[in-house]
Amino acid sequence: MRHQVTGLRYFCKSTRLTELGWYRGSGKHWKRHLKKHGVHIDVGVLGIYYEKDRCVAAAQKFSAENSVKANPEWANLIDENGLDGAPGGEAHPMFGKPHPQIGFKRPLVGKHGADNPMWGKPSAMRGIPKLKGKDSPLYGRSRPVGAGKKSHPVIRMGDVEIRYESVAEAGRALGKTTAGINRCCTGKAKTAHGYKWRYAEEQT
């Protein structure tokens, strides 16, 4: 496997042919790498083996030729033997070694109680009123010219045709919602609020 973003490689085996399309490997270092950089990987197949001895020989040969354990271009912590992962107990390559995260401070995100750096301190927003209505700095400001969705003039069909400069204006004039008028103008409904509606530019 090869990560498309970082280029890091990982050599592994799977015992099921159906896993070849979605298997992402099981190495701890490799899985942490995928979690950090995403699962965008390219998968290649060295071979398909039905005999244990041939599988072991091929895995050991590939591991030795590419130095997957020592080469920083590979995420393997041990040489692949085609049978299992890292052994337990004293045979594990990390046995007796300190955890790589020891000494690293826990990030501030997610800390609760006395561990949170803001523990016992007042909120930075305390005492600051929420500005609404006329107190808001945006009150009275008009929409910039050309901003927002373009308005479409509409015509209310009936005994007397009435033109409105926008669907919103028609809704305000009738005291009704604009959803039905929009549906009528787009052909999804025949009438809205007792009238037929059409966009002005559609009239001939």
Tally of domains within the chain: 2
Of 90, 113, 132, which residue is a domain's last? 90
What's phi and psi for 151, nearest 5 deg?
Answer: -80, 140
- Is residue 45 domain-resident? yes
pLDDT of residue 26: 79
Residues of the chain under the 70 pLDDT cut: 19-21, 84-89, 91-93, 99-101, 104-111, 143-149, 202-204
**pLDDT tens-digit profile of 47-62?**
888 888 888 888 889 9
- Is residue 195 domain-resident? yes
- Is residue 109 domain-resident? no
Of 90, 105, 136, which residue is a domain's last? 90
**pLDDT tens-digit profile of 71-114?**
888 888 778 877 766 555 676 667 787 766 677 665 555 667 77
- Is residue 78 domain-resident? yes
Indicate the burial class of 155 (C-beta count within 10 angstroms; 0-12, 13-18, 19 or more).
buried
Shared-domain flag, residues 9 and 85? yes
Of 90, 105, 122, which residue is a domain's last? 90
pLDDT of residue 80: 82
SS3 for the chain is CEECCCCCECCCCCCCHHHCCCCCCCCHHHHHHHHHHCCCEECCCCCCCCCHHHHHHHHHHHHHHHCCCCCCCECCCCCCCCCCCCCCHHHCCCCCCCCCCCCCCCCCCCCCHHHCCCCCCCCCCCCCCCCCHHHCCCCCCCCCCCCCCCCCCEEEECCCCEEECCHHHHHHHHCCCCHHHHHHHCCCCCCECCEEEEEHHHCC
Q: Could you give the CA distance from residue 63 to residue 45 in angstroms, rounded to a whole number?
A: 14
Range of the domain at 193: 154-202
pLDDT of residue 115: 75
pLDDT of residue 203: 46
